[in-house]
Amino acid sequence: MIGKVALVGAGPGDYGLFTLRGKELLQEADAVVYDRLANPRLLEFCKDGVELHYVGKMPDRHTLTQDEINALLVKLGKEGKKVVRLKGGDPFVFGRGGEEAEELIQHGIPWEVVPGVTSAISGPAYAGIPVTHRELASSFAVITGHEEPGKEASAINWASLATGPDTLIFLMGVGNLGLIVEKLVEHGKPLDTPVALIQWATRPNQRAVSGTLKDIVEVVEREGITSPAIILVGKVVSLRDTLKWFENRPLFGNKILVTRARSQASDLTELITKAGGEAIEFPTIEVSPVSDWKEIDQAINKLDLYTWLIFTSANAVEYFFERLYTKGYDVRHLAGLKVGVVGRATRDSLLSKGIIADVMPEFYTGEALAKELAKKLSNSDRILFPRSEIADKLTVKFLAETGAIIDDYTIYTTTPVAEGVDEVDTLLKNDKIDCITFTSSSTVENFHTALGSVWNSLDEKPLVACIGPKTAARATELGYAIDYMPNEATIAALVEGLKEKLGGE
């Protein structure tokens, strides 16, 4: 059976600019053939067991030649696989997608194309430069800055470009910047024409420089701008100082280490990214349900014996309700129970199940929850407390003092991991991390086990941000100076504080 190949545009680099159709195809793909400029995060959409084939190209070297890439696509298609050819930008805008499609047609392989957001327009937009403007530019042209090697003569009509379109956008042209400037000036483009180069456009490490045809080569050399970068020529470049927005976000230019479990990191990563920072995920813990459900199952089967159900984490809520549903029950089985939660994130997780918490303390700690509940409990109450195996024992201690009966059962476990430790080791030693975030005592402990010796050897240390007092106390015990802790122990408050600490207004 013949498979199918989809030529999918990965967009310019910003993860959020990927298309819904592209996501759908990645989720279904048996094999993905991807480029250097495709955001690696897109591969998280892929299912387990997918074949990954990296075929990235650098200006001076190729992993595979284009002919070899074409042959790989044909081979995978003939094997009956659903294939995604993930290409930076748009497949048909200097992406050689047309050549790949022709090869597939020649071999009878079904195919489709999914357009991507091209960097030719999105890159300038993220640098605050509209490619058209009512008063400055009514036309634009997109030109390759890197013609096919071996051509006897350029196919670019320099005379028409120099005097025609108002905005010129060159892709893949950094290495030929001098020649581009020379040809435009030679054919009549004024030396004072504004020029900008945008490197790694739409990504957290985006850099943009500007000048004129007279001095832009010198500016680029001085600032160290290299590929990949877009060259923009025209009066619209003058709008950058007014319209610049992407680089003005509060966390722009900051690399922030996220040490949460991968299953929990997305909300923190998303908030950091929205604020302009670069979130580097380094999971130091892994959260998983218990293997033996005996105690929890017995409690669920006899929920009518309990008067209170308490949760001190969103994880506990998720695993408890997952087991409740597995046992054939739904929220009606909790009728008559009152519920206490430790804080806002746990409350929101509970609310997603259709239940409003009866008690939530002002300060989001297990101890504060226990003290708040103590005002309402008596020795006739019985409490079910599904928790992690490392939950704060003070919660149980304070609850026990009320005389209530407490059944505290482990519902999930937290185990140490250290994914990507070598990469983070290198980043720390090269002063490439601006802040480390800790969201629990276990993230601190496991980070310290994996990289504590490296941390202690650093002359200049990144900022340390802890979500709450318990986490901060453990970090202090291990020798970490705490630079920031929010008044409210939530992810949102943590990021808001980082904006002020790292970026100002």
Catalytic residues: 35, 57, 172
Here the tokens at position 177 are 């910047």
Here the tokens at position 489 are 């122990």
Here the tokens at position 94 are 């200097």
Other CB atoms within 10 Å distance of the CB of residue 422? 8
Taking a C-beta distance cutoff of 8 angstroms, is the pair 35, 88 a contact? yes
Taking a C-beta distance cutoff of 8 angstroms, is the pair 69, 90 a contact? no
Here the tokens at position 48 are 């387990």
Enumerate the β-bridge partners of residue 340: 310, 359
Taking a C-beta distance cutoff of 8 angstroms, is the pair 119, 230 a contact? yes
- For 4, the enclosing helix (H) or strand (E) is strand 4-9
Please report which residue ranges of 171-239 form alpha helices under DSSP H.
177-186, 216-223
Rg (CA), the chain: 28
Q: Is the dihedral of CA 212, 215, 219, 220 positive or negative?
A: positive
Whole-angstrom Cα distance, residue 313 to residue 334?
A: 18
Taking a C-beta distance cutoff of 8 angstroms, is the pair 379, 402 a contact? yes
Closest CA to 243 of 164, 128, 328, 111: 128
The end-to-end CA distance of the chain, in Å, is: 58
Number of H helices, E strands in the chain: 18, 21
Here the tokens at position 159 are 């005379």
Q: What are the C-alpha distances in Å from 482 to residues 94, 370, 435, 466?
A: 49, 27, 11, 7
**Three-class SS state of 186:** helix
Identify the DSSP state of 148: P
Phi, then psi, of 327 in degrees rounded to 5: -80, 0
Burial class, 42, CB count within 10 angstroms (exposed 0-12 / middle 13-18 / buried 19+):
buried
Torsion (CA) 396, 402, 405, 409 in degrees, nearest 10: -10
Taking a C-beta distance cutoff of 8 angstroms, is the pair 263, 285 a contact? no
Taking a C-beta distance cutoff of 8 angstroms, is the pair 201, 123 a contact? yes
